């Protein structure tokens, strides 16, 4: 069990609405009202959230009323290698959509498959490519093709690599409204003309350093097919933590 990442576990437990500190064994399904509401800074609802952790624990968070139908499906899934299969997602959609409609939430319109990585102070490997500075506003404009995470200004944590007076790459901690002072839930973007220069690694390491220097931890989530993103995370010291499957519905307010 990944006990040295207690902050990550508390963070994910809060967002999922179910406790991750459970014994290894069959997949556990828990119902949570969180699956029917939009989270801070997100334009959609995570109506089903399945995490299969590296140590063997497997948990699914579903809306109230969907536990039974989902349990029937997950008991047939033998291991994390099946989590990204299209047939599994289709079956889970059929299980949760009636519950969503009854609750006044739109049906599932997207499936997100991710791999999860975590990092502590002991894991961190700093990088030093370019001039890395903390950004708190839009006074340094982005390079063409790069979008600044303005939702993180002025109080969030954003670091950028400045090249010729523009931000060529940025890394930041998402504003989730949960444990924002302890856990860096990371995002990173680099303008196309500035890639493969180590800028993303440097900016990402700076955000991780900011949090871990204060006793915090970091979480990095990306598509398993995004080899460049996976390589960036590993180069900074992130270690594999698990796999995730999320069923998404449009936010009621949109």
The residue-averaged pLDDT of 219-247 equals 97
How high is the pLDDT of residue 40? 84
How high is the pLDDT of residue 2? 44
Q: Which fold has domain 131-237?
A: Aminopeptidase (3.40.630)
The residues spanned by each domain of the chain are 3-117+243-250, 131-237
More reliable by pLDDT, 94 or 78: 94
How high is the pLDDT of residue 1? 39
How high is the pLDDT of residue 43? 87
- 139-144 long-range contacts (CB < 8 A, ≥24 apart) are 140/165, 140/166, 140/167, 141/165, 141/166, 141/167, 142/166, 142/167, 142/170, 142/191, 143/167, 143/168, 143/191, 143/193, 143/194, 144/191, 144/193
How high is the pLDDT of residue 78? 85
The residue-averaged pLDDT of 156-170 equals 97
The residue-averaged pLDDT of 9-26 equals 90
pLDDT confidence tier of residue 155, bands split at 50, 70 and 90: very high
Each residue's pLDDT tens digit, 91-102: 999 999 999 999
């Amino acid at each position: 069990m990944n006990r040295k990442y207690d902050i990550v576990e508390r963070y994910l437990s809060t967002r999922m609405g179910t406790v991750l500190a459970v014994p290894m064994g069959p997949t556990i399904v828990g119902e949570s009202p969180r699956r029917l509401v939009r989270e801070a800074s997100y334009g959609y609802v995570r109506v089903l959230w399945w995490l299969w952790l590296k140590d063997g624990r497997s948990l699914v968070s579903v809306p109230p009323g969907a536990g039974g139908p989902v349990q029937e499906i997950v008991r047939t899934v033998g291991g994390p290698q099946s989590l990204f299969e299209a047939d599994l997602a289709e079956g889970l959609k059929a299980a949760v959509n009636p519950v969503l409609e009854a609750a006044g939430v739109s049906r599932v319109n997207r499936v997100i498959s991710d791999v999860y990585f975590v990092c502590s102070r002991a894991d961190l490997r700093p990088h030093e490519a370019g001039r890395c500075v903390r950004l708190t506003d839009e006074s340094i404009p982005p390079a063409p093709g790069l979008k600044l995470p303005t939702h993180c200004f002025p109080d969030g944590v954003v670091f950028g690599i400045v090249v010729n007076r523009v931000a060529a790459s940025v890394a930041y901690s998402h504003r989730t409204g949960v444990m924002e002072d302890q856990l860096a839930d990371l995002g990173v973007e680099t303008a196309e003309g500035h890639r493969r220069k180590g800028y993303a690694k440097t900016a990402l390491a700076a955000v991780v350093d900011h949090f871990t220097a204060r006793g915090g931890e970091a979480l990095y989530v990306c598509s398993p097919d995004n080899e460049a993103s996976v390589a960036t995370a590993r180069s900074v010291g992130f270690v594999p933590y698990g796999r995730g499957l999320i069923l998404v519905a449009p936010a009621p307010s949109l």
